[in-house]
Structure 1
Amino acid sequence: MITPHLDRLATESLVFENAVAVTPVCAPWRASFLTGQYPLTNGLFYNDKPLPTQAVTIGKAFKEAGYQTGYIGKWHVNGHQRGEDPFSGRNKPIPKERRQGFDYWKVREVTHDYNNSYYFDENDEKHFWEGYDVFPQTDSAISYFHKNKDNPFFLVLSYGPPHDPYFTAPQEYKDLYRDRTLSLRPNVPEMYQDSARRVLAGYYAHCTAIDKAVGDLLKGLEDAGIAENTIFVFTSDHGDMLMSRGVLKKQRPWDESIKVPMLMRWPAKLGTVRRDVYDPINTPDLAPTLLGLCGIDLPESMEGEDFSAALFSGEDLGNEAALITLPVPFHEWQFMNGGREYRGVRTRKYTYVKDLMGPWLLYDNEQDPFQMKNLVGVPQYAQVQEYLEAVLSKKLADTQDEFLPADTYMRRRAYIYDRNDSLRPANYLELNRD
C-alpha cells in the first residue's frame, strides 16, 4: 500500500500495535468513542439507533473545559424516528441539541456515495462537498486549524472511505494499483484470490487518497504554527476482512475486523521518535486517555481506562486484554449469513472468543498471525484457554455484561430489527464454526 505520509507520521508517533475496536462496526464504535462506555452501557450495539441526547461525551467534556469543538464528516449516532425506514435518518440533519457538545458542524449522518456527498451545517443548511469528499473535508479541517490557532480546540474529522464501496476512489489513485500484483494474506482461500486482489486494489486506492489528505492535514498544522502542541490521532472504527476467510467487511471477531490502526503524535510532550505500544487499547479507553492527556477531569460515567500517565512515562499500558463484543449481529453479518453473538478478549498474544454455545475461537497470534489454526479444545492449550476464560469472565463482570441472546438486548432497548436481521435458521449457532 502506498502511504508515504502515514509512514512518516508513524516515525514521529506512538504506534499502537494492538488497538482494538470493542464492537467492530460503525455506530457502536462511534458511540463508544464519544462516551468512553461499552456498547451495552450506552445502548448503541446496533447501527442506526440513537445515542441519548443526555449522554455525557468527549465533545461535551472538552467544551466544558473551554475548548472549541468541531466535527466534520460521518456521524452515525443519531438514528431515525421510530416507525420510519431504518435508513431514513441517514439523509437528515442532526438537531443542535443532539450534537453531543460539538459546535462547528459539517456533518451527515451516513453516506457511502463519496463523490456526490453533502453535509448539513450548524443551521441545518445543506451543502455539497465538491468532488471526492475526503479532500474538501480535509480543507475544511485545515481552515478550522487556522481560525482556532490561538484557542484550544478539539476537532473530529471522520472520513467515509475506505468503507465499501471499494471502487470509487479518484481515478488517479486507482491507476496506482491497476497493474500491480498485490500480495494477499495466507488466509484468503485460493478460490477467492482474484476477487481479493480486485477488492484490495480499490480499498488501497481509497487508503492512498486518505494518505494524501493526512499529509495535507499535517502541513496545515505546521502552516498554522500549532503542530508542536497539537495531539494528532489517526485511527479507524473497524477493519475489513477483505476476503480473508473468504468474506468481506466487519463485525467478525478476527483480527482483520477488530484490529485498527492507531497513531498518536504530540511533539511537545511525547517527542518525535517512534515508540511502539504493544499492550491492547480498546475503544472506550480513547476518550478518557485524550482527556487525561489534556489534564481534564474524567466524567464519572466513562468506563474506559485513562492511559495518559503511561503514555507520558513511556511505560507499558499495563492492560492485559481488550474486550471484544457483538451483542447483536446485523446487516451484512445477520443471523442468516452466519452471524452470531460473541464475547472475547484480545491480548498481546492470544485471541479467545465465546459464542452462546461456549468456547468458539482460540488463536496464538504470535505463532499463528493469520489465525488459521483454532486451538479451542486442543489439550496443549487447555491451561491457556482456562486462563483466558477467567480473563474474559472478569471483563464481563466488570462491565455488567450478562452475555445474553441478541433478542434480550433488543427488547430491553425497545429496538426493532432492521428488515430481515431477526431471521435465523434453527441451527444458526452451528453454522461456520471452526
Structure 2
Amino acid sequence: MNRPLFALSGALCAVTGSAQSADKPSSEPQKRPNIVYIMSDDHAVQAISAYGHPLSQVAPTPNIDRIAAEGVRFDRAYCGNSVSGPSRATILTGKHSHANGFRTNADFFDGSQTTLPKVLKANGYSTAIIGKWHLKTYPTGFDYWKVLDDQGMYYNPDFVTMSGDTVRQRGYVTDIVTDESIAWIDAHKDRPFFIMVHNKAPHRNFQPAPRHLTLHEHTFFPYPDNLFDTWEGRVAAGRQEMSIAGHLMPAYDLKLYTRRDGWDPKTDWGPDYRFMDSTEREAYIASYDAANQAYYDNPPTGDSLTRWKFQRYMRDYFSTIAAVDENIGKMLDYLDSTGLAENTIVVYASDQSFYLGEHGWFDKRFMYEESMRMPLVIRYPAEIPAGTEAESTLVQNIDFAPTLLDWCGIEKPDSMQGESFRAVARGGDRAVKPGRDWRKTLYYRYWENPGIHNVMQHAGVHDGRWKLVYFFSNETPVPAECYFELYDLKRDPHEMHNLYGTPGTNGVTTRLRRELVRLADYYGDELPPCRELNAL
C-alpha cells in the first residue's frame, strides 16, 4: 500500500474522450478525446434543474443543465455504496467497495491497484487531479495532483501538494479548484489530457461563497411530501441519526447564535470557520443576524421548528451550489473559446446523491433512491447528440472508468467489474437491450456501521422497478439481527411502504433474493448469512 497522507481522509475521476462519431463520418481519424471529469460532493439529483425536481426549479443550475442539453442526461445512474470515499474509490478502480478495499471512510485506499488515471497515463495521457480526494493516502497515477487536506475548508483552504507539503491558499475553494484546473489544462492541451476537477461543495456544513451569502435569503423551498415520515415498517430507518428534526446541530449546521450571548465562531461554529479572516467572518456572521434575531424573538416549536430548520438548511445548501454551477460555466466557456470543446468529454457527477428533507433526513447512506441515485450528465460533441436522454438504463459508478477508457480506444483491465455505457451515452435507452447486452439489476452494499448517523449495514438488489434491501447488524460471522425490505418503485417511488412478506409478493421476493445472492457471488462479495438467504 502507498504511504499515508497525513490528515487526509478523503476521489473521483475526470472524463473526456471519444471515437469517430457515427453521425459525423470523416476520412480523417478522430483524435483521442480529452477528459474533464468534474465531481462534487453530496450534490443531490433533486438540486439540479435539468432533472426537473421542484426544489431545483426555485434555485436552477443553468450551467450543469447546459451539459445535459448539449449532451446526455442519465436518469438511472447509481452508486454501489453511498458514502464519499467508497464511491470515489469505485470510480477510480471500476470495482465495488469489497473488491477495491475501501469499504468505509475509515479505510485507507490502496494506490498500488489498477486505476483509471494509471491506465490513461500508460497510454499517453497527461493526468491530473485538483480538489477533494478524501481517500487518506497520496494519489497515484497522476502526473500532477494538488488535493484538499482531509475534507477541506471552504474559505482559504489547505492543499496537500506532490512534495508532501501543506499550503494554505487564499480564496473560496470552488473558485480555486476550477481556476487551477483551467490553468493546468491550458499548460497541457498539446496532448490528450485527463483531469479530475473535484469540488468540496456542497458537503456539509454548507458555506456559500462571499458573493452568495444572501442569495436565497428570501427563497421559499417546497417541502417534500414525506418530511414528517414516521418510518413505519422500516426498522433501520427508525434507528438512524440523521433527521432534520433531531440531529442537525444548532451552531454547526444551522448557524444559530446571538452576538449578545458572547458567541465565538472559533468554538461555537467549530473548526470549519477558523480559516476565515476577520473581514470574511464578520460578513458571514452578519448574513445570518436578522434571521437569527427573528428566530430568537419568536422561537418556533414542534413541526414549525422542523420546517424552519428545513428552510435554513436548503438556503445554505443551494447557495453553496451556486458557486459550483458558476464555475462549471467558466470551464465550459474556456473549452469553447479555446476550440477544445468538440474533442473533449465533459462529465459532471456527484459521488452520490443526498437527502433534501425526504423521509425527514439529511445525509445519504441508505439504499433508498435519494441517496443511491447519482446525477450524471456528459457532453461530448464529437459523438453524443445534443439532448440525448437515458431514462431507464441502469448504469453504476463501477461503469465510469470502463466507459471513459472505451472512448479513448483503450481496453478495460480485467480487474474492472463495470462495463462501458458508451453506446447508451450516444444513443439513449434504445441503444441496448437489458438482459441481452446490458445488465438488468444493480448490486449495493453499505458497510459503515458502527459509524456516524447509525445506519445499519445492508446489501440489496435493484432491477429498475423492484428493490430488495437486506439489513443486518454488524456482528460477524453471523449477524444477531437481519431483516428485509421490498419496494415497488412504480407504485411507491418514495419508498414509504415496505412490502416484504405481504400477500402477492412471494414471487418477486424469491426472484430478487436469488438475484442478490447471484450478484454477490458474481462480484466476489460474501453476504452475512440469514435464514431467508440460506433457504435458497
Structure 2 equivalent of residue 281 of structure 1: 395
Structure 2 equivalent of residue 150 of structure 1: 190
State the distance in 1 between where 2:321 and 2:497 align. Answer: 30
Change (3 A) 1:236 1:294: same
Structure 2 equivalent of residue 218 of structure 1: 332
Bigger drift between 307-316 and 107-116 goes to 307-316
Structure 1 equivalent of residue 203 of structure 2: 163
Q: What secondary structure does 1:311 align onto?
A: helix
Bigger drift between 185-194 and 232-241 goes to 185-194
CA displacement at 1:247 relative to structure 2: 2.6
Contact 1:149 / 1:225 at 8 angstroms: preserved in 2?
no
Q: What secondary structure does 2:107 align onto?
A: coil
1:270 aligns with 2:390: no
CA displacement at 1:320 relative to structure 2: 1.5
CA displacement at 1:327 relative to structure 2: 2.5
Unaligned runs of 5+ in 2: 1-58, 230-302, 473-480, 530-536
State the distance in 2 between where 1:174 and 1:360 align. Answer: 44
1:66 aligns with 2:124: yes
Bigger drift between 254-263 and 65-74 goes to 254-263
1:76 aligns with 2:144: no
State the distance in 1 between where 2:174 and 2:159 align. Answer: 12
Q: What secondary structure does 2:486 align onto?
A: strand
Bigger drift between 133-142 and 175-184 goes to 175-184
State the distance in 1 between where 2:179 and 2:210 align. Answer: 20
Contact 1:103 / 1:122 at 8 angstroms: preserved in 2?
no
Q: What secondary structure does 1:403 align onto?
A: coil
Structure 2 equivalent of residue 175 of structure 1: 214
CA RMSD of aligned residues (A): 1.9
Bigger drift between 17-26 and 48-57 goes to 48-57
CA displacement at 1:358 relative to structure 2: 4.8
Q: What secondary structure does 1:63 align onto?
A: helix
State the distance in 1 between where 2:108 and 2:149 align. Answer: 11
Q: What secondary structure does 1:157 align onto?
A: strand
Bigger drift between 187-196 and 10-19 goes to 187-196
Structure 2 equivalent of residue 382 of structure 1: 506
Which amino acid letter does the alignment assign opposite residue 525 of structure 2?
A: D
CA displacement at 1:153 relative to structure 2: 0.6
State the distance in 1 between where 2:76 and 2:412 align. Answer: 24
CA displacement at 1:204 relative to structure 2: 1.0
Structure 2 equivalent of residue 11 of structure 1: 69
Q: What secondary structure does 2:179 align onto?
A: helix
Which amino acid letter does the alignment assign opposite residue 343 of structure 1?
A: A
Q: Say how many residue pairs are matched.
A: 382
Change (3 A) 1:260 1:111: same
Select 2:227's aligned residue among 182, 188, 191.
188
CA-to-aligned-CA distance 1:321-356 (integer Å, 9 cap, x gap):
2211113325322xxx3x211111233223221113
Unaligned runs of 5+ in 1: 80-93, 406-434
Contact 1:292 / 1:306 at 8 angstroms: preserved in 2?
yes
CA displacement at 1:312 relative to structure 2: 4.2
Structure 2 equivalent of residue 354 of structure 1: 470
Structure 1 equivalent of residue 98 of structure 2: 40
1:367 aligns with 2:473: no
Structure 1 equivalent of residue 18 of structure 2: none
Which amino acid letter does the alignment assign opposite residue 228 of structure 1?
A: E
Structure 2 equivalent of residue 100 of structure 1: 140
Which amino acid letter does the alignment assign opposite residue 183 of structure 1?
A: P
CA displacement at 1:365 relative to structure 2: 1.9
Normalization by structure 1: what TM-score?
0.83
CA-to-aligned-CA distance 1:153-197 (integer Å, 9 cap, x gap):
11001111111002x112432422111110122121183332222
Structure 2 equivalent of residue 116 of structure 1: 156
CA displacement at 1:126 relative to structure 2: 3.0
CA displacement at 1:223 relative to structure 2: 2.0
